[in-house]
Structure formats: C-alpha cells, structure tokens
Structure 1
C-alpha cells in the first residue's frame, strides 16, 4: 500500500491536485467481463461535485468523468481502469495571498514541514477535491458489490446540535441525505445561519451496509472495523469513527451490549455487524464525525513563513458544512474496502 494507493486486490491510486488541470484514479484488479454503468458512476460524481448542493459551496464544477482505459465496448477487460476528471472552474489567483501564510485548520503548515514546499492553490493534494477520484473508484466498487448482493447507504444524522431521531432510509431526498425529514429542515436552517455568520459547522454521517456475509475480516490486525476505520479516517474531513453503539458502550453493561443470539438469529446489533473483527452477517453500522470546514470568513490568528503572528480571513467559495458532499465519499471508501476484502477472501467469480 503506497502513499497514494489503497487496497491490495482492488487497488485504487489517485492523482492530481485541486487546482491542477485534472484529477484522476487508476483502479487495478477489477474482474474482467463486467458491464460498467457509466451513467450511474456520473450520478455518484454529481452527488459530490461543488455547486450541486444548496448547503455547500457556490463554486460550480461540472465534474464530468472520462474513462480512459480498461474497458472494451463497455465491459471491463481485467486491465487497469483509468478515469480522469478535468478541472473547469479554478480560481488559482484567489490563493495568491496565501503564499507566505498558513491557513488555520488546514494542512498548510504540516505540508511545509514535511516536504519543504506546498501547493498554495487550494491545498493541492490535501484538498477535499482529491476525494472526487475516490468517488469514481467507489462508484465502480458499488456496482461490483451490488452484483454480490451488497448495498451501501449513508446520510447525515447530526449537524451541530441538531440530531436526527428517525431512520427512514427511503426518505433521504434532501440536501443532506438525512433519514429524518424534520431534522433535515433544521439542519439546513442551521447551516444557512452559520454561512451568514461567515463560519462553519461539523456533523455526523451514518453509513449502513446490508448483504455482507459472515466471515469477512481477520481476528487480529486485519479486523473488519480496523480496515474500515483506516479507509474512512483517510478522508480529510473525518476526525472520529464508531461502530454500532460505539462510545455509548462505555456506559453500558455486558448484559445490555452483548448481541445475544437464538436459533432464529441475533436479538440486537449493538456491535454494528462485526464481532471479533469479523462480519456477523448483520447490517454493518458505522458513524463518522465530520469536522467544521477549515476555511471560514472570520478573522483567525496564524503565522507567516517567517513565524510572525498575523491575522487571516479566508475569502472565496467554501462549504459552511461539508456533510452534504461527504456522504458519498464515505460510502465510496466503505465500498472500496469491502470489495477489496471480498476479492481477497472469496475471489472474483
């Protein structure tokens, strides 16, 4: 697994910078003879793209995906699949004032310490725009998983202090893919309030996977939740993850938390579909904590390249809450991980 690659049997390598001419992904290990639904992949790209969601950035990118290799007449050939996304709406000049100063909450300072050089145009590889390549790979992985009876869905279940109490997963046609329509309305109102205050806000995204058969994952270092955590935590906006009841189990007793089983099946799913690091066949349930977007219009203290204290206010077109666009990214990383594990454990038949 390299610095820009993820997976072993289904290997995903992303490339490109936020304000470069293009971003893309190379996917190696895909089974041959699979009919790709390019329209479905583009729909997934549209879920993440800037400008497609009223709660997000006003910057509008077309995000039209092109498949360059690895297919013939719409079918996979078993060779590497290359997908590319050309940039169409960059404003690199918007970042010229950041050449000698580091943005609070971003990777600017740490990139400079590690590499001695950084791309000031939107953060380069550290930009959330890199996730568009992950969505492309995840969209294909979802199709390959669907063939195996596995479905993945996610939605925002918290923004700030607004918490979704309901879980109606067939009613997520709102800007945040929230499974609680009433809570979704309050979430959108809060995001608009935060936008007007030139601030940002975080939230929680819940992801559920159905159809995973028992036995996926290894009992020690290759635990299923450990591998999923690696995948989801590799998303820049994610700062925490939990499975099933997660941190709530710290205040529970074993008699409450244990997922008891009878001849008819499990009586509960407090562990989130994973026992001993191995899938139990139940629905996999995880939640990811999404940090507030780092770029805000309020003045903040920071330092220059010469380590001089200064005040910086970020201008430009930024998301007041990244949850709406991060939902599909989390789904994608979960899909990539599960398909990689399926290929490894059960082959590509």
Structure 2
C-alpha cells in the first residue's frame, strides 16, 4: 500500500506525469520548528538535472506545505506537502501503449490492477519518492534536535567500481581462521566521520576522489552507449539510542530492510558485516563488550552494524542497499507487445543512466522515517512503564539502574 509506519505514518501520492506528487505525514510531535527550507534542502539533493550524470528532466521540486504547520511550528496534526510536476512529456511514452518495458513495472502493474498509468512509470517511478524525501526531512530534523542523531548516505559502488571497504582474500577451509577484518580501518573511519557536505562535493556522491572519478567515467560510458548501470548506497546512522526495535517481527533491521527495499530499483540489503560476515569465524566476528567513559556498555568492534537481536545497541547503525541498472534505456531491445507479438522497443524520454547518486537522499529519508517511528514506539512504552512503581523484586542483573530502562533518550554528550 502507500502508507508506511506505525506512529510516524507517511502516505505518499502521485504518478510520474500527473499534476503533482507529495505526502501526508501523521505523528509529527507538536512544537517542532519547521520551515519549507528544512524540507527543500533534501528535495533539491534528490531532484533531476543536477549534472550530466542524471536525466535532463528539469524539475525544481519546490515543496508547498499545505497543513500542520503555523508560524513555523508543527501543530501535531497531519502535515500535507505538495510538489508540482512541471516538466511533463507524456507523449515520450507512446511506445509503452504497445510494449511493456523489459524489467520495468508496466506489465506487473497492469496484471495487478487491470489498468495502468498511460505514461512514465506511474507509481513505480522515482517521482513517487519525492513524498518520502519530504517526510524524511521532517523526521530527520526532530531526531537531530532531540537526540543528536546523524544520518549520512553515500555511493559505495557503481557497476564493478567500488570504494575500498574490505580486504579481499582468497581463503580455504583450512586457513579461514586467518581471515582479515570484515571492513578496513579506513572504511570504518569513513563511516564514523563522513558528512553530507563531503559527500556532495562529488557528482557521484562517492566521498573517495579516486573512486568517484572512475565512477563518473563508468556512468558516462553507459550513457553514451544508451545503456544504464547499477550500484550500491551505504548509509550510517550515528548517535542512535540503545533499545530501538520491536522484536520479533518488527526488528529494527527488518524495518530498515522493508523501507529500503520499497525504494524503486532496489534489489538487495545488508546490515553490518552483511554477507561478508558469513565468511568470518565467530571468534573474529563477535562484538565483545567494553565499558565506555560515560559508564555505558559499548562494543570494541561493530560488525553487527549497531543492531543485535533486532534492537539497537547504541553503536553506529550502518547498512548497504543495492540498486539495479535502470530498466528504461534507449537501445533497441527485442521484446514482446502486450498481445504477445514479438518486436523491438527503443524507449524515448529522459532517463537516468544510473540512479545511485540521486538515491542517496532517498535512502537517508527512509532511514529517518524508520528511526523516528522506532523512537516514538519505544517512548510510548517507557511513558507507560514510568507510571508504575519502581521494580525492586528482581535480581540486579535483570533490570537497569534507571527506572526508565530501555527508553529512547539522548546519549550522554549529545
């Protein structure tokens, strides 16, 4: 469906070439200072036409806040946001009246609903993500002000061009106990320090200059060949309180996976060490606990990616999302019409040769929405528990010193 979240609920609307797209956000706490500029900054990072690496479709994506905010302050009521589609060219899609585009959603939407949008990708188009990004900007502002949470995503690969992140070693069953670390120290440092300003210095949004140059060349090569190429986006969430996540079915990594795999063109998700962690013995992969300077428990390593048992443990959360090569390309492709007649389709229109650099703010937005919902859920539990008498009958090992154990509250020093 088109609604995501439990207490922080986001509903998006609109098709690729309709009059407007946008979102309604319910569950925003009252009293948050919010202006259209807070939302626009992320929409401008997502919009098309930013460089020669993207589609030339010229959309300014200016947000219009319709409700839920007065005098720059949220009211606690639903916030409606609208963005007009201004640079529409529906006639560019006349071929799709006959042909479902290979690997696109034209056929599956028709099979499901019995009717589909006449132009573009309809609801499967990346235009739909405008509502997500607008909603995520609101969630992100609250999380930053209330908890000091920072969310930064960046491009980690395009095709086979990858930012250096892990030590690749050929091992056998006999020598795998000598496996290297899952992630290099340099990449771990990048995760803990990278900023959006650093990411946006590069048109590819890969904060590694040598790799970014190679990525640019790879995308240009695909564009010149009227082809496309995929890649991955890595995201880190810092200063996350321990205790977020709703086991067993709504574990935090499960909600993140749900959110990320709902983004158009996504094909894979991994958290922490991911699939690389399957190649490392437990003696090297386990995150052993250490005492932090503020008295809290922390981990010496963070191969778990900040989540254990489906619950945040207070360490940085990091994950990676895989995006396929865009389906719509201008090369002539052998395919079939809706009636089964064989033919060739060379799509017209304006399309991205690679989507990962524009997907960065979308990944950040969905991460913000998931963490915001988790914070509200945990705080509702803690508020209810705080009305009860302190627990004094359990062994010390079963309860935290503070009565508000497990509450999503700012870490010391935030």
TM bracket (short chain): over 0.9
What are the equivalent positions in structure 2 for 1:183-262 lying under 5 Å apart?
Answer: 183-262=211-290
CA distance in 2, matches of 1:299, 1:244: 40
- Consecutive unaligned residues of structure 2, counting only runs of 5 or more, are 165-185, 293-297, 384-408, 410-414
Deviation at 1:38, TM superposition (A): 2.2
SS in 1 for 2:123: helix
CA distance in 2, matches of 1:54, 1:232: 26
2:183 is the alignment partner of 1:161: no
Deviation at 1:295, TM superposition (A): 0.8
Relative to structure 2, which stretch is displaced further, 52-61 or 90-99? 52-61
Q: Residue 7 of structure 1 is aligned with which of 2, 5, 8?
A: 5
8 Å contact from structure 2 (residues 3, 9) kept in 1: yes
Deviation at 1:93, TM superposition (A): 0.8
Provide TM-score, normalisation by structure 2.
0.82
- Consecutive unaligned residues of structure 1, counting only runs of 5 or more, are none
2:209 is the alignment partner of 1:176: no
Q: Residue 296 of structure 1 is aligned with which of 329, 333, 343?
A: 329
Deviation at 1:218, TM superposition (A): 2.6
What are the equivalent positions in structure 2 for 1:1-349 lying under 5 Å apart?
Answer: 3-147=1-145, 148-165=147-164, 167=187, 168=190, 169-170=194-195, 171-172=198-199, 173-264=201-292, 265-347=298-380
Show structure 1 runs of 4+ deviating over 6 A: none
CA distance in 2, matches of 1:80, 1:219: 28
- Indicate the structure (1 or 2) with the bigger Cα radius of gyration: 2
CA distance in 2, matches of 1:297, 1:286: 33
SS in 2 for 1:207: strand
8 Å contact from structure 1 (residues 104, 301) kept in 2: no
CA distance in 2, matches of 1:139, 1:88: 22
8 Å contact from structure 1 (residues 48, 325) kept in 2: yes
CA distance in 1, matches of 2:241, 2:2: 30
CA distance in 1, matches of 2:336, 2:27: 45
CA distance in 2, matches of 1:96, 1:316: 10
SS in 2 for 1:26: strand
Task: Please provide the CA RMSD for this pair.
Answer: 1.4
- Give CA-to-partner distance per residue, 1:88-108, whole Å, 9 cap, x none: 100011112211210001001
Deviation at 1:220, TM superposition (A): 1.4
Relative to structure 2, which stretch is displaced further, 295-304 or 79-88? 295-304
Deviation at 1:176, TM superposition (A): 2.2
CA distance in 2, matches of 1:146, 1:55: 31
- Give CA-to-partner distance per residue, 1:71-130, whole Å, 9 cap, x none: 111110111100000111000111122112100010011111111111131121111110
Provide TM-score, normalisation by structure 1.
0.97
CA distance in 2, matches of 1:45, 1:219: 33
CA distance in 2, matches of 1:29, 1:283: 25
SS in 1 for 2:365: helix
SS in 2 for 1:69: coil
8 Å contact from structure 1 (residues 157, 206) kept in 2: yes
CA distance in 2, matches of 1:139, 1:95: 32
